[in-house]
Amino acid sequence: MFGWVFGLFASCDSDGCPRGVHEWNATGMRYVGEWYRHKRHGLGVLETRAMVYEGTWSRGLWHGAGVARAKGVSFEGEWRDGYMYLGVMKDRDGNISGRFAENQATGCAQSSSSRVSYVGEWEGGKYHGYGRLEGPRSVQEGEFRHGRFVRSGNAKAAIRCGERTAGLASRWSRRGRTAALRARTVSNSCWWLLILLLAYFLVPGGVECPLCAEHAQPFAFGCGDKCCRSCAVRWVRQALGNRSVFTEKGLPCFARCGSFIDSATLDRLARPSPWLPYLTKSELETFRRQTEIQKIPPHKRLFCPSCDRCNVADASSSSALCAYCGWTWDPKTALEPADAESEKLIKLTAKPCPACGAEISHWHGHGCHHIAPGRGCSNCGQHFCYVCERPHGIPGRYKKNPLCTHGSTFCCETDIHAHLEKVGPNIARDTRCGCAICPDCRPNAPCPHCPGTCVVCRGIVEL
């Protein structure tokens, strides 16, 4: 496509145009389409006073699928070096479906008109060989020469050949019409490409999205942070699958600025658009339900094993009944003690991925704060900063977030004891970066994920 766009600025001469899409005019002739080395090559439309051709070209000749129309006659199908080869030719008398040589029916073909129909062998546009001719009062089957019936005979093989070739010609006729439509599209898009290119650079308002780095119209959140609408919808959709991302106030802004997505922003993301993605009604309902869940105290949240909806726990009852699906279960056996301990440890030491919400732990001194695929979020491949939790690009595509000021920084060991916060039994974290002290490392005995330089391996911190 860029070859077409840049070709619009090249100049044409009397012999033709260079590579690209151009409009070329001569005496009684107009061509709009693709060029290559001053020859019509590719898709294009040629208009003269006597005829119109729409389809594919090769080195200045009609070659491939295309449609030609003149006064009272047309051909749809395959062309070879400027001549009709396989397709359907129509005129005032009827049509011929089959193979052609030098614009004359030759070989196996089938014709039909209002009075007679013929299927069999042709040569030079006339019945020649074996075939069958059906008229209003008689049927002649046998050998023909130069359009005249010579003698009766068995023409079944020639008839089958003509019918098969006619079916193949009908398929090439459809391909020719498709190529003509594509050629008209290229012809009409010649100047539209130039208009779109100029509009891309001259129309104000487009900015670079901090998440996907694409140049698009900005979508502003209530806090003032901006990204493209596609990334805004993607941000909300990825958060819907993980309730731990939500808080009592709702879903945090993608920029981690401390604000939350308000109802007005949510309504704007839900406005239907034929070109841009938008949130559906079910996604809006899920968003509001996730926000309502966070308003229930954690010790009273009871999720149904069947529908995963949140219920308010009743301390006086030994069994739980889901108010949404009617499922009954024992909440005491819903979670094993080992799973409960693991979930508790994850909550104390992990941070959610800003894209998919998966809980990720980054131990103190175990690499830089840039969480990258292979060393961080294995669920969606999102790059992000573990300190400020700002995403870098979109899942699978890295682009540095200009709002993040940390970059690939490492955990600080200076005055580590003054900044340690105990969050659980034998669990502490650095309040400056949020990284927890590794519980598996020991002095001079690093864990499999530690390079041996963390504060525990060097004996600076003891748990």
pLDDT at position 172, please?
83
For residue 21, give the nearest of 2, 82, 62 by alpha carbon.
2
Q: DSSP letter at 21?
A: E
pLDDT at position 10, please?
46
Q: Provide the CA 168 distance to its chain's centre, in angstroms.
A: 34
Most confident of 143-152, 183-192, 206-215, 374-383: 143-152
Q: Which amino acid makes up residue 200?
A: Y
What b/e string do you get for 141-157 counting C-beta neighbours within 10 Å, with b at 16 or more?
A: bbbbeeeeeeeeeebee
What is the DSSP track for 320-335?
EE-TTT--EE-TTSSS
283's tokens: 């996604």
C-alpha span between 419 and 422 (Å, rounded): 10
Q: What is the mean pLDDT of residues 269-292?
A: 83
pLDDT at position 373, please?
58
Three-state secondary structure call for residue 85: strand
261's tokens: 């997505």
pLDDT at 316 over 60: yes
For residues 372 and 222, the model is more confident at 222
Q: What is the pLDDT of residues 395-418, one digit of tens each?
A: 777 788 888 888 778 888 888 888
Identify the residue whose tokens are 């439509």. 181
Q: Report the alpha-carbon angle 433-436-437, nearest 5.
A: 120
Question: For the chain, which residues make up each domain, given as ranges?
Answer: 2-188, 215-339, 345-430
What is the DSSP track for 137-166?
S-EEEEEEETTEEEEE---HHHHHHHHHHH
Long-range contacts from 397-406, C-beta under 8 angstroms, 24+ separation: 397/212, 398/372, 399/210, 399/211, 399/212, 399/213, 401/210, 401/211, 402/210, 403/210, 403/225, 403/255, 403/256, 403/257, 406/369
Q: Which residues share a beta bridge with 84?
A: 79
Q: What is the mean pLDDT of residues 26-51?
A: 82
CA gyration radius, the chain = 37
264's tokens: 């007005």
pLDDT at 208 over 70: yes
Share of the chain above pLDDT 70, in %: 84
